[in-house]
Amino acid sequence: MLIDFTPDKALYPFESRWFDSSAGRVHYIDEGSGISILFCHGSPTWSFLYRKIIGELSDRFRCVAVDYPGFGLSERPPGYGYTIAEHAAVVGELVDHLGLDQFVIMGQDWGGPIGAAVGTDRADRVRGLVLGNTLLWPTDTWPQKAFSRVMGSRPMQRQILNNNLLVERFLIAELRNTISAAEADHYRNVQPSPEARRGIAAMPGQILAARPLLEQLATDVPARLGAKPTLLVWGMKDMAFRAPAFLPRMRDTFTDHQVLELPDAKHFIPEHEPGKIAEAIGRRFL
């Protein structure tokens, strides 16, 4: 199943590209030239999340942003499990297909562990990382565990599938004073039906189900990526990834890190402060 939606060129002025991964047809964009940055989104977003940052960086960087299967304009393939490990495998296939070398990984939310899993398998080709409002280890905080269990329950799964709960009540509700109605529709219109939403519906359960992968990352990231230049970008008003609970361990994971605190930003930092993030990336990696 592919999504019948064409983004507005005024909002998403990029050429859509397609890659036939082992899981199905994947949508991505590849803009600009220079040092490559691989943008990995979280849930329930898609590559549209990074449009403003890419718009500011593509004159100096090669910006590659992918939609995982089940997200954005990518296929909803039959038999796909929508696990974090599967998403990382698909993104890794794209990285190898494009021949990315000495590239920077940017990951927000689930994009952090997905991008990190891609990077640990290709550590010699990773130049650095940009990580924001994410984690790289199994969660031990009760709010996240509770969120996973509640959102994975049958009543809440029905709300996600039938009423697009994650997009409406978590994404758009947070951004209601930040993005336009047309931009909000770009998040809605790529998840137009219950069948199309199976990918985002699976993600809350992955907070607990992806524990084996996250345990592996807790070991592999410090060992293989811990010395890479890293920019930690944090929305300080994010209630899901509270800075006091997550930033100290992030700092300890990377020996060569800088921190950009965004005092007024919540969870979806590329929407809240794209200019500050783009400026910080340029300073860190050029």
User: In 3D, which of 41, 19, 14, 31 has the Cα closest to residue 97?
Assistant: 19
User: In 3D, which of 94, 145, 135, 92 has the Cα closest to residue 234?
Assistant: 135
pLDDT of residue 141: 81
CA 100-207-48 angle, to 5 degrees, is: 45
pLDDT of residue 53: 98
Classified as helix, coil or strand, 232 is strand
CB 135 within 8 A of CB 214: yes
pLDDT of residue 1: 85
This prediction has a pTM of 0.97
d(CA 247, CA 241): 9
d(CA 256, CA 128): 10
Q: Where are the domains of the chain?
A: 17-140+211-285
d(CA 170, CA 158): 16
- For domain 17-140+211-285, the question of CATH label 3.40.190.10 is answered with no
The per-residue pLDDT string of the chain (286 residues; one tens digit each, 9 = 90 and over) reads: 889 999 999 999 999 999 999 999 999 999 999 999 999 999 999 999 999 999 999 999 999 999 999 999 999 999 999 999 999 999 999 999 999 999 999 999 999 999 999 999 999 999 999 999 999 999 988 888 888 999 999 999 999 999 999 999 999 999 999 999 999 999 999 999 999 999 999 999 999 999 999 999 999 999 999 999 999 999 999 999 999 999 999 999 999 999 999 999 999 999 999 999 999 999 999 9
Catalytic residues: 109, 238, 267
The DSSP call for residue 89 is H
